Amino acid sequence: MTGAGTNRTKPNLAGGPAIILVRPQLAVNVGMCARAMANFGLSDLRLVSPREGWPRTGAHKEMADAAAAGALHLLDSAVLYATVEEAVADLQFVWATTARERGQHKRVETPDSAMPESAAAVLGGAKHGILFGPERTGLDNDDIALADAVMTFPVNPAYASLNLAQAVLLVSYEWMKASGGATAPFDLVERSPLAPRNMVISFFAYLEGELEKAGYFRPIGKAPVMRRNLRNIFHRLTMSEQDVRTLRGAFVRLVEGPRKEAAAKMIDDSDHPPSAS
């Protein structure tokens, strides 16, 4: 199953640091990690001794595939390793993610400062990787000893445990920002140009004229302030031509009542009620 935002006609981003899942316990989490990677243009998924085995089979395959939501190419291309040492052997720099201090005297960064560093290095041809530990325990100290630096998340200190896929998602998002993909994929589509001033003034003249007839501007001494307040409300909307036409049409109907055709039909319907079936 693919998500609503999937568009196979657009270029698929790839590359970035390797995402290394160390002894992942649940196939569904591996699938969700693949989805997070695909969302933000990462494509190197490495698995170290997953508890439920690899390649996936049976129910484990179904759960991982469903959780990946269309990112099956990452699951299919994932590489299996027996040890962390093998998984990081070709990398020049490795981050270890952890929620707690480990006493290993390593530099500590958050994803928003770590990923620009990796983006610059990867752009220059270096190979970086990020270690993520098992869901229940996280990375052990021997895993972290293989890393160059620690990456941690600014979270609630009373509840610092992140779901594995959430952690991958946060890092992947910061990678996307750091690698030049920080702009929104689409913008507001202007379907009608901004209303010219004469159109807006004409609308004000009509509206204020009808309100005057209805006795709205009372007491008379406050009428100038009331007019300015009304005009400023509409000015804050930055109205398009279509906005002005729509508002004016709505006020016309309020003032004049139903159109003659509609009123005539209502009268006709009341004179000829539908027969009971």
CB atoms within 10 A of CB 10: 8
Residue where a domain terminates, one of 150, 178, 206: 178
Angle (CA) 259 265 267, round 5°: 105
* Domain encompassing residue 159: 18-178
- Answer yes or no: are the C-beta atoms of 174 and 119 closer than 8 Å: no
- Based on the fold, state whether residues 207 and 76 are members of the same structural domain: no
- Summarised one tens digit per residue, pLDDT across range 91-120 is 999 999 998 887 888 999 999 999 999 999
Residue at 13 is within a domain? no
- Answer yes or no: are the C-beta atoms of 27 and 60 closer than 8 Å: yes
- Based on the fold, state whether residues 166 and 211 are members of the same structural domain: no
For residue 70, what pLDDT is reported?
A: 83
- Based on the fold, state whether residues 210 and 80 are members of the same structural domain: no
CA distance 112 to 184: 18
- Based on the fold, state whether residues 90 and 221 are members of the same structural domain: no
- Based on the fold, state whether residues 157 and 247 are members of the same structural domain: no
Sheet holding 108-109, edge to edge: 79-81, 45-48, 18-22, 128-132, 93-97, 149-151, 108-109
- Summarised one tens digit per residue, pLDDT across range 43-54 is 999 999 998 888
Find the helix packing angle between 111-123 and 164-178, rounded to 10°: 50
- Based on the fold, state whether residues 32 and 100 are members of the same structural domain: yes
Local confidence band at 263 (pLDDT 50, 70, 90 cut-offs): low
- Summarised one tens digit per residue, pLDDT across range 64-93 is 889 898 889 999 999 999 999 999 999 999
Per the structure, how many domains does the chain have?
2
For residue 101, what pLDDT is reported?
A: 80
Residue at 204 is within a domain? yes
- Based on the fold, state whether residues 73 and 173 are members of the same structural domain: yes
Q: Where are the beta strands (DSSP E) in the chain?
A: 18-22, 45-48, 79-81, 93-97, 108-109, 128-132, 149-151
Residue at 191 is within a domain? no
CA distance 143 to 156: 25
Residue at 67 is within a domain? yes
- Answer yes or no: are the C-beta atoms of 244 and 207 closer than 8 Å: no
> What is the distance between the terminal CA atoms of the chain, rounded to a whole angstrom?
47
- Summarised one tens digit per residue, pLDDT across range 148-158 is 999 999 988 88
Residue at 185 is within a domain? no
For residue 1, what pLDDT is reported?
A: 47
- Based on the fold, state whether residues 132 and 24 are members of the same structural domain: yes
In the predicted model, what is the mean pLDDT of residues 54-71?
84
Residue at 192 is within a domain? no
In the predicted model, what is the mean pLDDT of residues 27-50?
94
In the predicted model, what is the mean pLDDT of residues 6-14?
64
- Based on the fold, state whether residues 257 and 205 are members of the same structural domain: yes
Average pLDDT score over the chain: 88
Whether residue 29 has pLDDT greater than 60 = yes
Q: Which CATH number characterizes residue 43's domain?
A: 3.40.1280.10
- Based on the fold, state whether residues 129 and 259 are members of the same structural domain: no
- Based on the fold, state whether residues 210 and 103 are members of the same structural domain: no
Residue at 260 is within a domain? yes
Residue at 76 is within a domain? yes
Whether residue 22 has pLDDT greater than 80 = yes
For residue 259, what pLDDT is reported?
A: 74
- Based on the fold, state whether residues 120 and 235 are members of the same structural domain: no
Angle (CA) 252 256 257, round 5°: 105
Residue where a domain terminates, one of 178, 207, 227: 178
- Summarised one tens digit per residue, pLDDT across range 166-210 is 999 999 999 999 988 666 666 677 788 999 999 999 999 999 999
